[in-house]
Chains A and B, each alone.
Chain A
Amino acid sequence: MKFKAVIANFKDNVATAISNIKKGETVSVKIDKELLEITSNENIPFGHKLSLTDIPKGEDVIKYGEVIGRATRNIRKGDYVHIHNVESKRGRGDLVR
């Protein structure tokens, strides 16, 4: 079976598309030994991320089993996850003072 999205670590709440995924398309993501079915709410380009769960605004986004940033708005399961709804928590000189 060829997967269209993969996770790096079982703790992840986002998966990486390894093919272009169309809006409305249901893809399987292998988590440990289980398969999670996700229906994409948007077009996800190759290499970009798809949410595996609802991630409320302000919560951490997890990839590689680690924090890659926080949600800047409520993210729904199946949403496209990128700079429009996630921000970095590090190197934020703009937030100083």
Chain B
Amino acid sequence: MKIMGYRRPNGKIGIRNHIVVLPTSVCASETATRISNLVEGTVALTHQHGCCQVGADHQQTVRTLIGLGNNPNVGAVLVVGLGCEGVEPTFIAEEIGKTGKPVEMITIQGCGGTLKTIEKGTRILKNMAQKILNMPREEVDISEITLGIECGGTDTTSGIAANPAAGTASDMLLNYGGTAMLSETTELIGAEHILAKRAVNDKVAQKLLDIVKKTEERAMSLGVDIRGSQPTPGNIEGGVTTIEEKSLGCIYKAGSAPIQGVLKYGEPPEDKGFYVMDTPGQDIESITGMLAGGAQVIIFTTGRGTPTGAPIAPVIKITGNSNTFKNMIDNIDINAGKVIDQGVSIKQVGKEIFNEIVSVCNGKLTKAEILKHREFGIYKIAPTF
């Protein structure tokens, strides 16, 4: 199946054409935002990290920032550093530059302060915009698409309607040769033994069980009942009683494909097919991880309703709850609640979701995009020093 996308110099396909201003630390985030505000078609990925981070936590931030710059929805990148942070701006720019896309780097200390950085950065962005924003779409194969599958604000309709339909859509993309990712390790607790059976080999199965065990141990080490955080108060009000029930409903959105591998947070898959990424259950950090792993489009199931979008990819919102669809019509794109109240089949709603993915890949804007929802957050795994 063919779609219309943007071909990047490394052959990867974007379905959006964003120019990203990428601060390498919290110290450069405000300046990055100001530069981005001056130029059309650009977005600043501001964050709180990039300095005084140690070990795996530092590496994860580095991997995530590079992955976000590499995402094929990004046509060009301006890296903005302070100049003395732990995440080196030069290194980030060089790594993203390997994709062949236009990448430039400036630092606030190098330019001589905020105003000079804004002037220099704005001129760079303006030149990038002239080149990138006028790029035409071209015909490409849908197998180039990596789908991120997310759920948030779950209620019990998610497990009955929205998630199985999302899983059907994911299976359809995989049948066309594409790639899909499931994330949110916390929401595999109690369902990991089922998913592990779908791993392509014992090594992958063990890796999957290990990430879930580590997450559960992390929760246990805090000495509290995970309930109240997972499931959340809203999940409970929606009828979800335990994390096991939430997880068992969650994994329906993973469809039925074999699991090729388990990815670190922000790590891109090496091949096509279905993958699990080790992310927290918090939606924004989970989506950010999948974007860093190369996902160009996100489907997001919700029972209670949520406005979440993403700065560099469309997020398609699906609910299994018809009341929520009516209540949050400004935010939700697809109503899978008709499985429950109109007897429409899961398969039919799955096809509707897949068709929407295709339309959105071709340029149709999602409600989250129209309302400029650009939630963004990088997952941290150790305290700052």
Interface residues of chain A, those whose CB is within 8 Å of chain B, are 6, 8, 16-18, 45-49, 61, 63-64, 66-69, 81-83, 86-96
Do residues B220 and A49 form an inter-chain contact, with CB atoms below 8 A?
Answer: no
For the complex, give the distance between the alpha carbons of A95 and B160 in Å.
31
Do residues B241 and A86 form an inter-chain contact, with CB atoms below 8 A?
Answer: yes
Interface residues of chain B, those whose CB is within 8 Å of chain A, are 155-157, 159-160, 189-191, 194, 216, 219-227, 230, 236, 238-239, 241-245, 248-249, 303, 321, 323, 340-341
- A selection of 15 A-B contacts at a CB cut-off of 8 Å is A17-B239, A18-B160, A18-B340, A46-B239, A47-B157, A47-B321, A64-B249, A66-B190, A68-B245, A68-B248, A82-B239, A90-B189, A90-B216, A90-B243, A92-B220
Do residues A8 and B160 form an inter-chain contact, with CB atoms below 8 A?
Answer: yes
For the complex, give the distance between the alpha carbons of A87 and B223 in Å.
16
Across the A-B interface, give the 10 residue pairs with the lowest CB-CB distance, nearest first.
A91-B226, A47-B239, A88-B242, A68-B245, A48-B239, A93-B220, A69-B242, A47-B156, A64-B248, A94-B225
- A81 contact set on B, CB distance < 8 A: 241
- A6 contact set on B, CB distance < 8 A: 160
- B157 contact set on A, CB distance < 8 A: 47
Do residues A49 and B241 form an inter-chain contact, with CB atoms below 8 A?
Answer: yes
- B323 contact set on A, CB distance < 8 A: 46
For the complex, give the distance between the alpha carbons of A44 and B347 in Å.
29
Q: A66-B194, A91-B227, A94-B223 are in contact. List 17 more A-B contacts (CB 8 A).
A: A6-B160, A17-B239, A47-B238, A64-B159, A66-B248, A68-B244, A69-B242, A69-B244, A81-B241, A87-B242, A88-B190, A88-B225, A90-B242, A91-B219, A92-B226, A93-B220, A94-B225
- B226 contact set on A, CB distance < 8 A: 88, 90-93
For the complex, give the distance between the alpha carbons of A64 and B156 in Å.
12
Question: Provided the pairs A91-B189, A93-B219 are in contact, do residues A69 and B236 lie with their beta carbons within 8 angstroms?
Answer: no
- B224 contact set on A, CB distance < 8 A: 93-94
For the complex, give the distance between the alpha carbons of A47 and B161 in Å.
12
- A93 contact set on B, CB distance < 8 A: 219-226
For the complex, give the distance between the alpha carbons of A38 and B236 in Å.
23
Q: In the assembled complex, how far is the CB of residue B86 from the closest CB belonging to chain A, in whole angstroms? A: 32
- B248 contact set on A, CB distance < 8 A: 63-64, 66, 68
- B236 contact set on A, CB distance < 8 A: 82-83
Question: Provided the pairs A68-B248, A96-B220 are in contact, do residues A91 and B243 lie with their beta carbons within 8 angstroms?
Answer: yes
Do residues A45 and B190 form an inter-chain contact, with CB atoms below 8 A?
Answer: no
- A91 contact set on B, CB distance < 8 A: 189, 216, 219-220, 225-227, 230, 243
Question: Provided the pairs A47-B156, A82-B241 are in contact, do residues A68 and B227 lie with their beta carbons within 8 angstroms?
Answer: no
Do residues B220 and A88 form an inter-chain contact, with CB atoms below 8 A?
Answer: no
Closest chain A residue, CB of each to CB of B216: A91
Do residues B190 and A83 form an inter-chain contact, with CB atoms below 8 A?
Answer: no
Do residues A16 and B160 form an inter-chain contact, with CB atoms below 8 A?
Answer: yes
For the complex, give the distance between the alpha carbons of A63 and B250 in Å.
13
Do residues B156 and A16 form an inter-chain contact, with CB atoms below 8 A?
Answer: yes
Closest chain A residue, CB of each to CB of B155: A47
For the complex, give the distance between the alpha carbons of A94 and B222 in Å.
8
Do residues B160 and A90 form an inter-chain contact, with CB atoms below 8 A?
Answer: no
Question: Provided the pairs A6-B160, A47-B155 are in contact, do residues A67 and B225 lie with their beta carbons within 8 angstroms?
Answer: no
Best-surrounded residue of B216, B221, B241 (most CB of chain A within 10 A) = B241
Closest chain B residue, CB of each to CB of A19: B341
Question: Provided the pairs A16-B239, A82-B239 are in contact, do residues A89 and B220 lie with their beta carbons within 8 angstroms?
Answer: no
